[in-house]
Structure 1
Amino acid sequence: MQMNSSLLMLWGLWDDVYQRCTRLRYIEKGANIFRVVLLRYRGETLVTTDHQVINRGDWIVKIHIHNYYFATLCKGVKDDLRLALLLRRHIMLSLPKLAIYLESMDEKEKIKGIVGTTMLHKGVQPLGFSISDVPMNGYFRYKRWYLRLLLRFIHPDGKKRVQSWKQDMPLKRVYMSKESLLERYGSQNPSPLGELH
């Protein structure tokens, strides 16, 4: 099942309403796969690949994949591998602008890192992310259901593919320290994408 134009248009209208009702900020609307919100971290202690520690109560930038934007990019894509490569490419292209955005924030000094939860976590470790499990409480069970529903619309095989992902695509937490993000992708890095080619 590929998403038809009418359904995509309705999703776009809903996404505008959702954006206005949340504190999510665009990094660059229509050109960046992330939306973000600054908040205090409420989960278990995280240790990043560069040995930084994010504790409960620390300030973080919570990252959200802009699912509607990604769905527009995926329109017409029918192959699993192409879909995965498309997502990875747009994450790669979006991280430098996320780093620059964080550098410009008034709250930069108190931020410990970036954190998100996703089912689309395969292949993100070479980009600098660490991965850990999330507790399957009511909130994360709902989020997993919601993300699977979105993937059902985005993915070309729809319902069939999402059912096969039930075991292979668990919900995970992905995170990176502020220091690692800025070192890899910040404005002081003369070639932020160089090590990813």
Structure 2
Amino acid sequence: MKNELLKGRAIYKRVKDSMPLLTAFILNHPEETKIKGVIGITLINKGFSTLGFECILPKNKLYCWFKKTFQLPIYFLSCSKISAVNIKKHRTVYLLMSKENLMKKYK
């Protein structure tokens, strides 16, 4: 897709559609009682709150640099216009959701 807005909407829809599958996976996991939530690290920092995620910024600058370096190839593959400005505006963030919130929203 060339249009960044359409691409963002498509990614959002795929993530939203996969959340009930994640819920089912957790409920059927042999160690389901030990699972407290889901956590991810990403450069995507828009649209996560409507999915039910909370955002936390990592404090360690070296860790952020390390993670961003390894996530850049994914960014380059998904971006139609690559620029230093776009790369700088994307920050490494943790996305978190408790198991209870996941079950309430997607069960």
Same fold, TM exceeding 0.5?
yes
- Structure 1 residue aligned with 2:71: 147
- Structure 2 residue aligned with 1:169: 90
Separation in structure 1 between the aligned mates of residue 34 and residue 74 of structure 2, nearest angstrom: 33
Structure ranking higher on relative contact order (CA contacts 8 Å, 6+ apart): 2
Pairs aligned (count): 107
- Structure 2 residue aligned with 1:131: 55
Cα distance per residue 1:121-144 (max 9 Å; x no partner): 200101110001012343432210
Q: Is the 8 A contact 2:58 2:92 kept in 1?
A: yes
- Of the structure 1 ranges 99-108 and 163-172, higher mean CA displacement relative to structure 2 is found in 163-172
- 2:60 is paired with a residue of what secondary structure? coil
Question: How many Å apart are 1:81 and its aligned residue?
Answer: 0.3
Query: Unaligned stretches of 5+ in structure 2?
Result: none
- Structure 2 residue aligned with 1:3: none
Alignment of 1:5-154 (within 5 A): 77-154=1-78
- Higher normalized helix content (fraction of residues): 2
- Higher normalized strand content (fraction of residues): 1
Indicate the percent of aligned positions where both proteins have the same amino acid: 23
Q: Is the 8 A contact 2:43 2:90 kept in 1?
A: yes
Query: Unaligned stretches of 5+ in structure 1?
Result: 1-76, 187-197
Using the size of structure 2 for normalisation, the TM-score is 0.91
Separation in structure 2 between the aligned mates of residue 141 and residue 167 of structure 1, nearest angstrom: 11
User: RMSD of the TM alignment (CA)?
Assistant: 1.4
Q: Is the 8 A contact 2:36 2:98 kept in 1?
A: yes
Separation in structure 1 between the aligned mates of residue 60 and residue 13 of structure 2, nearest angstrom: 30
Separation in structure 1 between the aligned mates of residue 80 and residue 101 of structure 2, nearest angstrom: 35
Please tell me whether Structure 1 or Structure 2 has the larger radius of gyration of its CA atoms: 1
